[in-house]
Amino acid sequence: MSRKVLIFTSEFPPGPGGIGNHAYSLALHLTLKGYEVLVLSDFRDMRNRNDLEWDVNQPFSVVRVSNKKPRVLTYVERLTKLNWIINQFKPDAIIASGKFSLLFTPFILNIRNKPPLSFVVVHGSELYGKKLKKTWLRKSISLFDRVTSVSSHTAKILREQLGYNGKVEIIPNGILVERFEKYNSCDSFSLKGKPALLTVGSISKRKGQHNVVNALPAIMDKFPDVMYHVVGLTRDDAIFLKSIEKNGVQHKVIVHGAVEDKILTCFYKSADVFVMLSETTEEGDTEGFGIAILEANYFGKPAIGAKGCGIEDAIKDGITGRIVDPHDPLEIQNALADIMDNHKTYSENARKWAEKHKWNKVIEKYISLIEA
C-alpha cells in the first residue's frame, strides 16, 4: 500500500508563481515515486474555473478552495477543508508551503492525538512582516516535525530575523524540465538585441527589473545594440516604468507580459544572458532562490544575479554566471562583458549546473525526510 502525502499550498498551477511551481514539482515527482498525493490549494480568482480542467489531467488529486469576500471566509474554508481532508484522506505526511499554510497548519495538526508527519518548505517571501507576525511565524515553524529551506539565504533569515534555533534542512530548488521538453521548434522566433538580455518574473520591486534598467546606460556604453526583454505579470510596475523614463531607454526595453510555456521556451533559447537583479524590499520581502535562473541555465544561458538574497545559491559565481551588486551599473557592465567574452564556457557550465537541479534528483532529498 502506497504512502499518502498531503501538500497544502498557497499557490498552485496553472497560475504563476514560484511557490506554486515548487508545490507542483513536489506533487508530480512524489507521485512518480509511488506516493499517493493530494494537493489542497485555491482557485486563482472568483470567476476562473479553468483550474478544474487542468486539475483533471494531473496524475494526483487536487482540491480547490473558492476565493470569497470578505477574505476571512476563504481562510475559514481553507482550514475546514484541511481538517476534512486529514480525516478522510488520512495522510502519512503533510507538507505545508506558502504563507497561510505555514502559519496555520501546525495548529490544526496539534489538536489530534496522532497527527501525520509534518514539514514545512520555507521559500523566503513569506517570512517578512512586523514583530507580532514574526513571533507567530517562529512559534508555528517550531511545531513542524521537519523544517526545510530552498536556500541558505532563507535559512539565514529563519535564524537571524525570526530567531528560530531548530534544525533546518536546506534543499535547493529544482528545475521541472518536463515543462519545456515537449516544445522543440522555435525556428521563426528570435529576440532583438546583441546581447539580448532576459528577465522572467512578475514585474515588482523584489524581482528588480528596475535595477537592470538603471544599468542599461552603462551597458550601452560597451554594448550599444543591447536589448532588454521582460517576461512576466505586471504586479507593481511603478518603479520599473519610472526607471525607464528616467534613463531614457524606452527604445531598449520590451515588455512581453506573461507567456505560455511553449513561448517561454523560445525566450530562453533565444536570449544571450539571463538577468535577475532582485532586492529585498523595505518590508523585508526577499528573493528566496530564483528558479527562473536554473530554467535559463537548462537552455545554456548564463545568468547575472544579485548579491544578498537566495540567488547566491542559484548561481556559481564565475562559473555559471556572475553575482553582482544590483545597484552598481559598472559592476553589472563588467559582469556582462566577462560572460560575453567567455560565453561558450559559461553556457556549458550552466547546462551542467541545471542538470544537477532536475527534480528527479531533488525529490530524493524530500523522500529521505519523509521516510526518516
**SS3 sequence of 79-113:** HHHHHHHHHHHCCCEEEEECHHHHHHHHHHHCCCC
* pLDDT computed for residue 48 by the predictor: 60
For residue 165, give the H/E element and its range: none
Domain that includes residue 312, residue range: 180-356
pLDDT beyond 90 at 185: no
Give the confidence band of 47 by pLDDT, cuts at 50, 70, 90.
low
* pLDDT computed for residue 45 by the predictor: 58
Q: What is the pLDDT of residues 131-163, one digit of tens each?
A: 888 889 899 999 999 999 999 999 998 998 888
Q: Is 76 found in the same domain as 19?
A: yes
Q: Is 196 found in the same domain as 127?
A: no
Q: Is 322 found in the same domain as 349?
A: yes
* pLDDT computed for residue 89 by the predictor: 94
Highest mean pLDDT: which of 106-120, 160-174, 310-324?
Answer: 310-324
Q: CATH number of the domain that 272 lies in? A: 3.40.50.2000
**More confident: 284 or 361:** 361
Query: What gap in Å lies between CA 200 and CA 197, rounded to an integer?
Result: 10
Query: What gap in Å lies between CA 235 and CA 35, rounded to an integer?
Result: 36
Q: Is 226 found in the same domain as 113?
A: no
Q: Is 261 found in the same domain as 208?
A: yes
Q: Is 16 found in the same domain as 146?
A: yes
Give the confidence band of 183 by pLDDT, cuts at 50, 70, 90.
confident
Give the confidence band of 234 by pLDDT, cuts at 50, 70, 90.
confident
Is the peptide bond preceding residue 195 cis, with omega within 30 degrees of 0?
yes
Q: Is 89 found in the same domain as 18?
A: yes
Q: Is 258 found in the same domain as 246?
A: yes
Query: What gap in Å lies between CA 237 and CA 210, rounded to an integer?
Result: 9
Task: Measure the CA angle with vertex 281, ends 277 and 282; round to 5°.
Answer: 150
Q: Which residues contact 161 (CB under 8 A, 6 or more apart)?
A: 127, 134, 284
Mean pLDDT, rounded, for 115-138: 86
* pLDDT computed for residue 320 by the predictor: 98
Mean pLDDT, rounded, for 173-196: 88
Q: What is the pLDDT of residues 258-307, one digit of tens each?
A: 898 899 999 999 999 999 999 987 776 778 888 999 999 999 999 999 99
Query: What gap in Å lies between CA 115 and CA 297, rounded to an integer?
Result: 40
Q: Is 324 found in the same domain as 367?
A: no
Residue whose grid cell is 556604453:
221
* pLDDT computed for residue 160 by the predictor: 87
Q: What is the pLDDT of residues 57-69, one digit of tens each?
A: 999 999 999 888 8
Q: Is 187 found in the same domain as 119?
A: no
Query: What gap in Å lies between CA 59 and CA 49, rounded to an integer?
Result: 19
Angle between helices 291-298 and 18-32 (to 10 degrees): 60
C-alpha cell at 199: 528577465
pLDDT beyond 80 at 228: yes
Percent of the chain clearing pLDDT 90 (strictly above): 69
For residue 111, the SS3 value is coil
Q: How many domains does the chain have?
A: 2
Q: Is 194 found in the same domain as 61?
A: no
> Which residue stretches of 143-255 are H helix?
152-160, 178-181, 209-222, 238-247
Q: What is the DSSP letter of 114?
A: S
Q: Is 109 found in the same domain as 208?
A: no
* pLDDT computed for residue 125 by the predictor: 79
Judge residue 291's burial from the number of C-beta atoms within 10 Å of its C-beta, 0-12 exposed, 13-18 middle, 19 or more buried.
Answer: buried
Average pLDDT in the chain: 91
Taking alpha carbons only, the member of 157, 83, 146 closest to residue 123 is 157
